Amino acid sequence: MIVATATDSGYVELTAVMLASLAANARDDYTKVYVFGDRLTAAEKAALRASYPLDNLVMIDLTEEDMRYLAGMPISLHVSRTTYARFLMPFKVDPGETRLLYIDCDAIVNDSLRPLRDIDMQGLAVGAVHDDARRRENRHFERNLAIGLPPDTNYFNAGILLIDLVRWREEKLTERASQFAAEHPNLPVLDQDALNGALSGQWLVLDERWNLHRRLEKGHYKGPPVDWAGAGIIHYIGQIKPNHADSLHPARDIFLAHRTNTAYAGATMKGKLDRKIEKRVRKIKRLVARVRRLFSPAAA
């Protein structure tokens, strides 16, 4: 099994912490970890390598051709085109690989990944965890109805994906998910909706501990008690991340413990103003990049 993630300049610190946690808790459970980067600087790449103590890290730069392919995908101020890199991964890694564990860069590995490496995927292309929306019936129904699926269809969170690479390619899931996104430009949850739409409930349900996540609602993480320490993978969803000064996430201490082993150990925590500035900068950068691609020789 290989592991893969994707990142850009706005999420390098989170990626560094994820890599540190991966090496600390699961170093014997995978052969390589791929980091797909969208315009990362040399300094950012160096910080990632400094945060990961093993020699099986593979950095892959997303190419201009990749970017043009992803340029038509719907994005938002909070979700960049980089999130669609998971659509391309099955064709960017060694063709001899058969199983890939995709981990969002805003997650940490909290236990051995051996159970995911060895699990029988029952002939299905993707294994995933139900989205947190499942805990609220109306929200779950709304998610499916918004993308044209029957309301009771299983709907997953795409932050952690266990992928049978052979089945993925055979079923042309990259093409199907991309087409779904192109045909539904107003997808509420973007790439996650596209993947759910393409799979239509045909995916392997994994135990919640492999993508333990809760939504922040009115300043609180609501719901029944959660055993964060017992999770296999903790996923810090939402706009407020555990490296933000105002984060109240109940598993923030676990994140911070791994942060001390990265190149960002002494970095200042971001505040609300920092996030607002970053949001505006990202918006401008995306606009400039899109204009450049439209007028590039290859696009003509």
Q: Which helix (H) or strand (E) holds 173?
A: helix 173-183
pLDDT digits (tens, 9 = 90+) for 120-160: 999 999 999 999 876 666 777 788 888 888 988 999 999 99
Cα–Cα distance, 271 to 172 (Å, whole number): 42
Place of tokens 């300049």: 9
pLDDT in tens, the chain (300 residues): 999 999 999 899 999 999 999 999 999 999 999 999 999 999 999 999 999 999 999 999 998 888 777 766 766 555 567 878 899 999 999 999 999 999 999 999 999 999 999 999 999 999 999 998 766 667 777 888 888 889 889 999 999 999 999 999 999 999 999 898 888 877 878 889 999 999 999 999 999 999 999 988 766 777 678 899 999 999 999 889 999 999 999 999 999 999 999 999 999 998 878 777 777 776 676 666 556 656 655 554
Residue 294 has what pLDDT? 61
Residue 224 has what pLDDT? 74
Residue 190 has what pLDDT? 82
Q: What token pair was written down for 171?
A: 């079923």
* Per-position DSSP letters for 41-95, written without gaps between them: -HHHHHHHHHH--SS-EEEEEPPHHHHHHHHTS---SSS-GGGGHHHHGGGTS-T
pLDDT digits (tens, 9 = 90+) for 222-250: 767 889 999 999 999 988 999 999 999 99
Assess contact for 39 and 139: CB atoms under 8 A.
Answer: no
Residue partners of 264: CB distance under 8 A and separation at least 6? 13, 16, 17, 47, 51, 243
Residue 296 has what pLDDT? 58
Residues forming beta bridges with residue 6, ordered by sequence position = 36
Burial of 51 (0-12, 13-18, 19+ CB in 10 A): buried
Assess contact for 46 and 262: CB atoms under 8 A.
Answer: no
Alpha-carbon radius of gyration of the chain: 18
Residue 277 has what pLDDT? 79
Residue 233 has what pLDDT? 98
Instruction: Note the pTM of the prediction, 2 decimals.
Output: 0.90
What CATH number matches the domain at 2-269, 2.102.10.10, 3.40.50.2300, 3.90.550.10, 3.40.50.360? 3.90.550.10
- Of 133, 99, 132, 128, give the one whose Cα is nearest residue 202: 128
- Of 232, 231, 244, give the one whose Cα is nearest residue 276: 244
